Structure 1
Amino acid sequence: MLEFAHPWAFLMLLAPVLIYWLVPAHRESRDSLQVPYFQRLVALSGETPRTGSSIRRRLIIQAVAGLLGWCLLVCALARPEWVGEPVKLEKTARDLMLAVDLSGSMEATDFSDAEGQKTDRLSVAKGVLEEFVAGREGDRLGLIVFGSAAYLQAPFTDDHETWLKLLDESIVNMAGPSTALGDAIGLSISHFRQSKTENRVLIVLTDGNDTGSRVPPLDAAKVAKVEGVTIYTVAVGDPTTVGEDALDMTTLEAVARTTGGGSFVANNREALSETYRLIDELEPANYDSQSYRPRKAMFHVPLAAFAFLYIISMPFFVMAARRKRRVAHD
């Protein structure tokens, strides 16, 4: 469909009419010779002397070419555009932050991989997260790793391939041997504040209890609730473990409950995979649909037509000029 970006330009089509009405005709003065025998010249030439000015009329082709050329220039000034069919785009509607525990206990080899081979907890978690992320095409993902302190490994991004690479480069103890769960929640909140997306989710994966946070997990959860962040906690390992590596399920459940999220326990790969599947159902991938109509500028078409008109009408203007000179010479 053809549209004009500046339709007001068509008002300029009235310019020739206004000029014709309001602007006087061009007058060209010429030098004259005064002679004492003017009446004898009149009698010999047979012409009748008149006062005033004579107006030379244009050829029809000149008038038509002039008006048509002006119309083409005005059309180009109006900037015609070809508007295509609507194109629908789906935009990310959720920011999803994943916080992964890299404390020393994540090195325990009490999990089995997809082939049934014994491996450490972090390796299994990476494999399950890769499957989980594959179905999150509508989300921007962020990654926080925490141990004795929390660090931002990947800011919110649509580039899931890079996100997975950064996750794969994370190793046990790279953030320290302890578990700063509360600091990880607090760090995620500070990054959610920079986001304009209202749908915010934090998934925390840990295999221990908070042992060194400057901000208690429950206090951080209360702030997260105010900021509109929903937290899901995923505890990996044996919940019956005692000592420093024991799972503090009471705190994890309280954190999730405070923000309206959920708390899960997984002691093997299958349970961990099922946990993320359940979270995927609770927080399905979300999209904001937008549409636009592509526009292609077409102003060059009337300009090209004007150039063509100028070329083909040029011989007629040259003929008119020669005729004028010949008449003047005669």
Structure 2
Amino acid sequence: MDLANLHFQNPEAFFLLLLGPLLILDWWWHAHKRKSTIKFPALAIAKKAAKGSKVRARYIVPALRMAALCCFVVALARPQNATEVEYTSTDGVDIMLALDVSGSMGTLDMLTRTDQAKLGVMNAEKVLKSGRFWDYSRLGYAKNVMAEFVQKRESDRIGLSVFAGNSYTLVPLTLDYGALLEILQAVDDSSASGNGTAIGDGLMNSLARLEKSDAKSKVVVLLTDGIDNASLVPPLHAAEVAKALGVKVYTIGVGKKSGTFLAFQQNPWTGEISWGEQPIPAENSLDEKTLSQIASSTGGRFYRAESKDDLEKIYSEIDGLEKTEIQTIAYARYQEKFYPWLLVGALLILLELVLANTRFVRIP
């Protein structure tokens, strides 16, 4: 039974309040049945005497007894203060982000109109020497979108591995998103050594981090812009390992299939570096067939991104597909509150006894 903010563990105790009217009737019966005789020399004068305030106040004594009874009944009902406590249990998702950091990821072919206009008015030589062009490259856009993906997660462990000619784990599975984001933002083409693109080794590196995971869902999101040409483990063999481990692999290919990209060009006579446009070489095209086979064999999907908007949509879709199931368990913690009622009842009984035997004592 709940009343206001109190919960009563033994509400049946309130039936004892039915004794209240019986006590009142008992007191009234004895008060009127009781007759006393007192000798008084002048009866006429006694009849004219009015009842004093003391006589009228004698009803305080039974009122105190009734109030004490009410307090004792409330105490017996065991009032408790309920504090609601919630525990959240999650069937988490462990996610490894595998990122290609080979030199071709510095290609400026996914520029938004705003970024292309911004770079067009900047000094090309300064941009090249400062390395600022990486912010507008395939890698730069991929890092920004991946950071947004990480920030959307709440209770999943996420790790980061990078690959070029070789593969390295930069961040093992962690819930420390702050540290992960800092390391992600510092990633560039020097984060992994070796020439070429080792897609198979990059996937195997991520799988090694997920091998002992007991998460309900294990996922690798692999992003690359090239063809595997440096792996010790063939990509399709790595996909078989992923399938055996129950790991779902989403593969993302970035870069335009054709067209031109913004590039640095050097004047052979003056050595001056300026902006120019170059055609996208055919040898840099994606191995879409292999990436698609990796994804389909593990229950994932293959995506193609030719712009930053494409990347944002892809990671948003993966975020929606790999949602953590959250179960909230709520229970109440109770704190006993009957002590004050018991104390007040005892004080009222004590006050009744004192007043009945002093101020309101009856003679005879």
TM-score range (shorter-chain normalised) is 0.5 to 0.7
Percentage of pairs with the same residue: 36
Find the residue that maps to 2:204 and give its secondary structure: helix
Give distance in 1, aligned partners of 2:334 and 2:167.
50
Name the residue aligned to 1:95.
Answer: 94
Of the three residues 153, 167, 187, the one matched with 1:136 is: 153
Of the three residues 139, 142, 145, the one matched with 1:125 is: 142
Residue 168 of structure 1 and its aligned partner are, at CA, apart by 0.6
Give distance in 2, aligned partners of 1:292 and 1:184.
43
Question: In the alignment, is residue 267 of structure 1 matched against residue 306 of structure 2?
Answer: yes
Work out whether residues 182 and 216 of structure 1, in 8 Å CA contact, stay in contact via their aligned partners in 2. yes
Name the residue aligned to 1:178.
Answer: 196
Of the three residues 303, 325, 336, the one matched with 1:287 is: 325
1:136-189 Cα shifts (integer Å, max 9, x gaps): 223211111111111111111112121111101111132123211101111111
Aligned partner letter, 1:120: S
Residue 128 of structure 1 and its aligned partner are, at CA, apart by 1.1
Work out whether residues 147 and 184 of structure 2, in 8 Å CA contact, stay in contact via their aligned partners in 1. no
Name the residue aligned to 2:49.
Answer: none
Work out whether residues 147 and 173 of structure 1, in 8 Å CA contact, stay in contact via their aligned partners in 2. no
Residue 84 of structure 1 and its aligned partner are, at CA, apart by 4.1
1:293-313 Cα shifts (integer Å, max 9, x gaps): 587999xx9xxxxxxxxxxxx
Aligned partner letter, 2:324: N
| TM-score normalised per structure 1 | 0.61
Give distance in 1, aligned partners of 2:89 and 2:160.
23
Are the structure 2 counterparts of residues 91 and 180 from structure 1 closer, same or farther at C-alpha, using a change threshold of 3 Å? same
Work out whether residues 138 and 287 of structure 1, in 8 Å CA contact, stay in contact via their aligned partners in 2. no
1:274-294 Cα shifts (integer Å, max 9, x gaps): 2212222322x2134253758
Give distance in 1, aligned partners of 2:284 and 2:206.
24
Give the alignment of 1:75-90 within 5 angstroms.
84-90=83-89
Aligned partner letter, 2:225: D
Name the residue aligned to 1:230.
Answer: 248
RMSD (CA atoms): 3.3
Give the alignment of 1:6-45 within 5 angstroms.
none
Give distance in 2, aligned partners of 1:173 and 1:277.
28
Give distance in 2, aligned partners of 1:297 and 1:161.
39
Name the residue aligned to 2:289.
Answer: 250
1:171-228 Cα shifts (integer Å, max 9, x gaps): 1132123211101111111111121113011100101111111100001001101111
Of the three residues 207, 224, 240, the one matched with 2:225 is: 207
- Gapped runs of 5+ residues in structure 1? 4-81, 302-330
| More deviation, 237-246/141-150 | 237-246
- Gapped runs of 5+ residues in structure 2? 1-6, 10-80, 120-135, 259-279, 340-364
Residue 253 of structure 1 and its aligned partner are, at CA, apart by 0.6
Question: In the alignment, is residue 149 of structure 1 matched against residue 166 of structure 2?
Answer: yes
Residue 243 of structure 1 and its aligned partner are, at CA, apart by 4.8
Give distance in 2, aligned partners of 1:160 and 1:168.
12
Give distance in 1, aligned partners of 2:112 and 2:190.
21
Find the residue that maps to 2:115 and give its secondary structure: coil
Are the structure 2 counterparts of residues 2 and 295 from structure 1 closer, same or farther at C-alpha, using a change threshold of 3 Å? farther
Name the residue aligned to 1:192.
Answer: 210
Aligned partner letter, 1:102: V
Aligned partner letter, 2:205: L
Give distance in 2, aligned partners of 1:193 and 1:213.
20
Find the residue that maps to 1:202 and give its secondary structure: strand
Give distance in 2, aligned partners of 1:179 and 1:294.
56
